[in-house]
């Protein structure tokens, strides 16, 4: 059951990352008038850093002194998750003709499971 508690914590951290991602993206695009792709990259980057820190401290309670390597693994997994999300969205929406937002929700659900599992086994494995 330890993994279930960690999964719930991972979800809470992910939700906080989503708020940061959207908030920073909006701030950079609407207030700072940055290019929308630059703004999106800023939001994504800060959300990943937030998620790494909170998952390291709270979800997985890591004390690994090699935090730079841990962060690198986390970023790599986040980028793979982003690619998987886009691939699944393409498959569910463009190929299977599901509603875009339903396809996005299914893709997010799949990627959350991927991100959690691989981070537990690879990034934060004690």
Q: In 10 A of CB 25, how many CB atoms?
A: 21
Residue carrying the six token digits 């997985």: 60
pLDDT of residue 1: 80
In the numeric block, which tokens belong to residue 60? 């997985």
In this predicted model, what pLDDT tens digit does every residue of 66-78 receive, in sequence order?
A: 999 999 999 999 9
Residue ranges of the domains in the chain? 2-123
The alpha carbons of the chain give a radius of gyration, in whole angstroms, of 15
Distance CA 11, CA 93 (A): 24
Alpha-carbon gap, residue 100 to 89, rounded angstroms: 8
**Eight-state DSSP code of residue 29:** I
Whole-number pLDDT of residue 121: 96
The number of beta carbons lying within 10 Å of the beta carbon of residue 85 is 18
- Looking at per-residue pLDDT, the higher value among 1 and 29 belongs to 29
CA distances in angstroms from 47 to 4, 20, 21, 22, 123, listed in the order given: 23, 6, 5, 9, 17
Q: Taking 90 as the threshold, does the pLDDT of residue 101 lie above it?
A: no
User: pTM, whole model, 2 decimals?
Assistant: 0.89
Confidence band of 115 (pLDDT split at 50, 70, 90)? very high
């Amino acid at each position: 059951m330890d993994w279930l508690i960690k999964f719930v914590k991972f979800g809470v951290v992910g939700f906080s990352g989503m708020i940061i991602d959207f908030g920073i993206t909006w701030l950079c695009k609407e207030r700072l008038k940055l290019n929308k792709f630059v703004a999106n990259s800023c939001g994504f980057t800060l959300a990943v850093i937030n998620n790494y820190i909170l998952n390291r401290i709270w979800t997985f309670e890591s004390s690994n002194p090699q935090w730079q390597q841990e962060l690198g693994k986390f970023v790599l997994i986040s980028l793979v998750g982003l690619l998987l999300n886009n691939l699944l969205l393409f498959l569910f929406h463009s190929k299977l003709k599901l509603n875009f937002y339903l396809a996005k929700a299914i893709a997010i659900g799949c990627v959350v499971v991927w991100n959690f599992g691989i981070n537990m086994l690879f990034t934060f494995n004690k």
